[in-house]
Amino acid sequence: MGGFFFKSKNPKELVDWYGKYLGLKTDDYGSTFWWKDKDGNDCSTQWSPFADDTTYFAPSEKQFMQNFRVNDLEKLLKKLSEEGVTIVGDMESYEYGKFGWILDVEGNKIELWEPMDKVFQ
């Protein structure tokens, strides 16, 4: 799991509440959970509230979006496209990883992330 994103009436207030009452180490984006993969590499999972009016989850109308960590995003997107899975938009690359989006069978938008975890450390 790369992350869990959800809509919130007041993301800043919610992030502050989780930091204060549940002890989450938070920043403007939510909270990052660090863990080790099977090879001992540092990895992260992000918990992030988004504003209620965000269009980031579109075309899905759900109040949440899942993010999954993947290897070789370009190859995966090509394979999924060949198998008839709906690809949303174009792959995007940043210093912290590559991103692609698909729709599941119910129309839920899923973010796929080929991470560069070391950037966050």
pLDDT over 80 (residue 121): no
Q: Is the pLDDT of residue 59 over 80?
A: yes
Residue type at 67 in one-letter notation? N
Task: Compute how many other C-beta atoms are within 10 angstroms of the C-beta atom of residue 66.
Answer: 17
Average pLDDT (40-58) is 93
What is the torsion angle, in degrees rounded to the nearest 10, for the CA atoms of residue 68, residue 69, residue 70 and residue 73?
80
pTM of the model: 0.85
